[in-house]
């Protein structure tokens, strides 16, 4: 939000910032109706693009500066990326991406305190000039992720300088083609050492779409590919494990007529085969435990949601499952299904032991659904049970109504000191009784007004309007 303070600026940065904000306001007031010719419009669009790229470079410098002097909890959260996401109201993934860019393009300081050049100095200079955008930076960073480890430092520096020079005049797609030519020169045989293959391996699940489907990406090493090939050889054959055909099995070789009835594509058969193998592995009970519960699927819902088959349950990993899928999954062993009343109020379970038991974690899964710290997005699978009342060996109780799911980073912020965040349970007169409230320290909020996390209860956002 633009500001128009009347006090005198105390720094050159503040004075320049006020001129910048005043200029934006003047443009907003002037409008663009007087621009009737397309050449004038495209010129202005280009100047705006240069300006936005330049301000993005300012942000990169500031983020790098904050990262170097970062104190967990100073600005209310443990990680800088979380502070950026909440302050700028951007995706957490976008905040992490900006922080990583700042690590490569922002100013650095050595152990002796002497300033160091950015990791990619020429790219940083072009970024600061407003000559390149986020797309160019992504291409250059991805280029160096593919450069073989045996390439010497001098050659890397020459490649970075050439790419930064080309980025000033090329589109990102054109720059990628130029980068591929350089990669072909650096690695003409295409042979990658083991360390380079290990560096590239990944398996990434994307966000769930509105249709509850999920796209992702992967780059698997030769060993995992070999496992998948063996798996698909059986489980992705036509007629094997076809959910649309009751005669389709996995125990015997499919009959010819069963295989011929299978109209699934190769990709669909591989999807269904992988699902069967993972389901059997989870149901086997041989995968050990994670945070006090067997490695399995935990789905929570209310009785009303179960009766209304059009609704969805939420898993311990934070994803949504259609009720019909939950009911079908419940037929397999070692999956947990927690049912609560329509208000989502959990039953009471008490323990005199320090560590929360599995059944108590299930109650926390159902009530909290994820980390209870304000605005945190980390699901229940990534959380531990936190005692809202500090546990004392002689007097403390591990009662479920005093437990809260908290992710590892935010658990470090909770405590009993004045500089810590305090946790309390909302009383019966509160708008959200039984929910976990976080009380910020005075340096974050002098009024210490309790805060609540609505992320896993999105219907509550309507109450904030």
- Among the candidates 160, 194, 228, a domain finishes at 194
Judge if 377 and 407 occupy the same domain.
Answer: yes
Judge if 183 and 78 occupy the same domain.
Answer: yes
Judge if 223 and 95 occupy the same domain.
Answer: no
Residues 6+ apart with CB under 8 A from 422: 414, 415, 416, 438, 439
Structure tokens at 171: 């589109």
Section 60-71 average pLDDT = 94
Judge if 235 and 294 occupy the same domain.
Answer: no
Judge if 166 and 184 occupy the same domain.
Answer: yes
- Among the candidates 162, 194, 226, a domain finishes at 194
Judge if 40 and 184 occupy the same domain.
Answer: yes
Decide which of 135 and 415 is more confident: 135
Q: How far apart are CA 172 and CA 166, in angstroms?
A: 10
Whether 241 is covered by a domain: the verdict is yes
Judge if 296 and 274 occupy the same domain.
Answer: no
Range from 29-43, 276-290, 420-434 carrying the lowest mean pLDDT: 276-290
Confidence check: pLDDT of 250 > 90: no
Judge if 65 and 135 occupy the same domain.
Answer: yes
The pLDDT of residue 172: 96
Whether 273 is covered by a domain: the verdict is yes
The pLDDT of residue 191: 63
Closest CA to 375 of 91, 97, 94: 91
Beta-sheet strands, E only, within 117-244? 202-208, 214-219
Confidence check: pLDDT of 296 > 60: yes
The pLDDT of residue 342: 53
Give the domain range for residue 266. 217-283
Whether 345 is covered by a domain: the verdict is no
Judge if 182 and 139 occupy the same domain.
Answer: yes
Residue-wise pLDDT tens digits, 100-144: 999 999 999 888 888 899 999 999 999 999 999 999 999 999 999
Confidence check: pLDDT of 337 > 80: no
Number of domains making up the chain: 4
pTM: 0.74
Section 56-82 average pLDDT = 94
Judge if 169 and 43 occupy the same domain.
Answer: yes
Whether 205 is covered by a domain: the verdict is no
Range from 161-175, 226-240, 307-321 carrying the lowest mean pLDDT: 307-321
Whether 266 is covered by a domain: the verdict is yes
Confidence check: pLDDT of 33 > 70: yes
Spell out a b/e string for 442-451, using b for 16 or more CB atoms within 10 Å of the CB, else e. eebeeeeebb
Neighbours of 246 (CB within 10 A): 8
Rounded-to-10 torsion of CA 352, 354, 357, 362:
110
């Amino acid at each position: 939000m633009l500001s128009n303070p009347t006090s005198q600026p105390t720094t050159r940065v503040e004075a320049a910032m006020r001129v910048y904000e005043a200029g934006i306001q003047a443009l907003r007031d002037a409008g663009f109706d007087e621009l009737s010719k397309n050449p004038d419009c495209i010129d202005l669009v280009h100047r705006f693009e240069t300006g936005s790229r330049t301000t993005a470079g300012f942000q990169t410098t500031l983020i790098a500066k904050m990262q170097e002097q970062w104190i967990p909890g100073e600005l209310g959260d443990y990680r800088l990326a979380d502070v950026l996401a909440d302050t700028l109201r951007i995706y957490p993934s976008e905040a992490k991406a900006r922080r990583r860019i700042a690590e490569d393009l922002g100013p650095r300081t050595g152990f002796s305190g002497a300033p160091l050049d950015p990791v990619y100095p020429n790219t940083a200079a072009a970024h600061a000039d407003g000559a390149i955008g986020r797309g160019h930076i992504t291409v250059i960073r991805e280029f160096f992720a593919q450069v073989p480890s045996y390439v010497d430092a001098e050659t890397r520096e020459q490649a970075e300088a050439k790419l930064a020079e080309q980025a000033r005049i090329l589109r990102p797609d054109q720059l990628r083609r130029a980068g591929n030519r350089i990669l072909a020169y650096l690695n003409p045989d295409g042979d990658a050492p083991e360390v380079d293959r290990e560096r590239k391996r990944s398996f990434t699940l994307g966000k769930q779409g509105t249709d509850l489907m999920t796209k992702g990406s992967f780059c698997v090493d030769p060993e995992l590919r070999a496992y998948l090939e063996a798996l698909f050889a059986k489980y992705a054959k036509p007629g094997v494990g076809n959910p649309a055909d009751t005669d389709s099995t996995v125990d015997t070789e499919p009959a010819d007529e069963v295989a011929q009835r299978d109209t699934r594509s190769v990709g669909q058969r591989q999807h269904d085969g992988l699902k069967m193998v993972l389901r059997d592995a989870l149901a086997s009970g041989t995968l050990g435990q994670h945070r006090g519960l067997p490695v399995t699927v935990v789905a929570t819902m209310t009785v009303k949601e179960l009766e209304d088959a059009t609704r969805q349950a939420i898993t311990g990993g934070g994803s949504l499952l259609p009720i019909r899928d939950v009911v079908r999954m419940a037929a397999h062993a070692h999956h947990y299904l927690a049912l609560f009343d329509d208000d989502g109020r959990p039953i009471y379970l008490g323990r005199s032991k320090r560590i929360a038991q599995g059944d108590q974690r299930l109650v926390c899964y159902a009530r909290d659904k994820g980390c209870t710290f304000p605005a945190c997005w980390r699901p229940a699978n990534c959380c531990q049970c936190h005692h809202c009342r500090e546990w004392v060996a002689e007097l403390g109780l591990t009662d479920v109504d005093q437990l809260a799911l908290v992710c590892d980073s935010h658990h470090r912020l909770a405590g009993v000191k004045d500089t810590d965040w305090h946790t309390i349970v909302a009383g019966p007169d509160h708008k959200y009784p039984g929910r976990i409230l976080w009380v910020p320290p005075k340096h974050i909020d002098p009024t210490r007004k309790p805060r609540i996390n609505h992320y896993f209860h999105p219907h509550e956002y309507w109450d904030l309007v």
